[in-house]
Amino acid sequence: MPGDETRKKIHDDSDSESEEEEEIQEAIPIIEIDPSKLTPLSPEVISKQATINLVMDAALLLIAGNETCPQPQTSEHLAAVEIMKLENIIILQNKVDLIKEAQALEHYKSITAFVKGTVAESSPIVPISAQLKYNIDAVNEYIVKRIPIPVRDFATDPKLIVIRSFDVNKPGAEVDELKGGVAGGSILTGVLRLGQEVEIRPGIVTKDAQGRNQCKPIFSRIVSLHAENNHLQFAVPGGLIGVGTKIDPTLCRADRLVGQVLGAVGKLPKIFSELEISLFLLRRLLGVKTEDKKQTKVSKLVKNELLLINIGSTSTGGRVLSVKADLAKIQLTSPACTEIGEKVALSRRIEKHWRLVGWGSVQRGTVLEVD
């Protein structure tokens, strides 16, 4: 019948179109962004992100088009990017649907003036509307074409920085159904394989009778590797990886492993209880407005001052023991697994918030012997 032939022709056309789409998808990497789910970084997160530079390949600097530029928090974001020394930045001028064309142009000029002389000076500025998804395709194109895929190190010993950890067992699960804890993070170097024996440092931290910290690294075996919903036989640097282990799930629940480092047994960096860092303080306090709308100056560190120290994904308190020129000796509240040359971010408690005041790199320290 003619109707059947017509239906067959439409079906054949749709098949050829779907085949073409599959070929295009194989040829071009597709990146999907849900901009409505992007959230601003809190000051506490900014200071932490300032030290996890090895996990990031690029950054999107989001600036609201219906507000004056720069906002205090925007200055803080850019300072964090400067600390991370990220070269691949895309600036997003958001909420252009709420302003007129002339306003958008003026705002564009203020963004250009704001980033002049910074690491983001030559970065593209893309006008977008996150709610209405305007120009998101242009952002995807910039990500694919302008951000190079970095060279990954597969040869050295594996090292994964733990950013999240979970207990995946459901309430009321039977004993024989229990699964070990899951550590989530990004592999910095090396390759993790299914069935591999791993060590997690600093591990379980306790205090002895004299109140001194003691560390007992956690040893386990990898029973599963996941990237999104994909099961992996091995995992390489780049992207977020979920590592299923045989660790007691109570040690992993509610992000309890955050700040730990996972890697091959006996190959991880040392654990430090005190650090001596080369120091660089910001000239002005970022993200804080005073009554006269001027940014307040950052005062020098003083002996016995309490700071928030961020090393990798580790957040710990630190007491300043001594300051000499651009060197500071800091006693850590809880031990940290780090190595010489690693970046450290320093935050000070100001008006009930931890504010980024400077950064540095580890020069030497007091090594804590493990049990």
**Structure token pair of residue 245:** 């282990």
Rounded to a whole number, what is the largest CA-CA distance in the chain? 92
Q: Could you give the C-alpha distances from 280 to 132, 176, 224, 300, 356, in angstroms and in order?
A: 42, 53, 42, 10, 11
Written as one letter, the residue type at 342 is E
Where b means 16+ CB within 10 Å and e means fewer, 29-49 reads eeeebebeeeeeeebbebbbb
Compute the distance between CA of residue 100 and CA of residue 96 in angstroms, rounded to an integer: 8
Yes or no: domain 35-146 corresponds to CATH 3.30.110.40: no
User: How many CB atoms sit inside 10 A of residue 351's CB?
Assistant: 6
CATH number of 159-264: 2.40.30.10
Domain ranges of the chain: 35-146, 159-264, 271-367
Compute the distance between CA of residue 220 and CA of residue 204 in angstroms, rounded to an integer: 13
Yes or no: domain 271-367 corresponds to CATH 2.40.30.10: yes
Q: Tokens 């067959």, residue?
A: 8
Within this chain, domains 35-146 and 271-367 share the same CATH topology: no
DSSP state, residue 370: B
H or E, element range at 29 = none
Q: Could you give the C-alpha distances from 40 to 36, 74, 76, 95, 111, in angstroms and in order?
A: 11, 10, 11, 14, 18
Ordered per-residue pLDDT tens for the chain, 371 residues? 444 444 444 344 444 444 444 443 333 344 444 444 344 444 445 544 544 445 678 889 999 999 998 887 787 778 777 776 788 899 999 999 999 999 999 999 999 999 998 888 999 999 999 999 999 999 999 999 888 888 888 999 999 999 999 999 999 999 999 999 999 998 989 999 999 999 999 999 998 888 888 999 999 999 999 998 899 999 999 888 999 999 999 999 999 999 899 999 999 999 999 999 998 888 777 666 655 545 578 889 999 999 999 888 888 999 999 999 889 999 999 999 999 988 888 989 888 888 888 888 999 999 998 87
Nearest-10 crossing angle of helices 101-115, 72-84: 40
Q: Report the length, in residues, of the chain.
A: 371
Could you give the residue ranges of the DSSP H alpha helices within the chain? 2-27, 43-49, 72-84, 101-115, 136-146
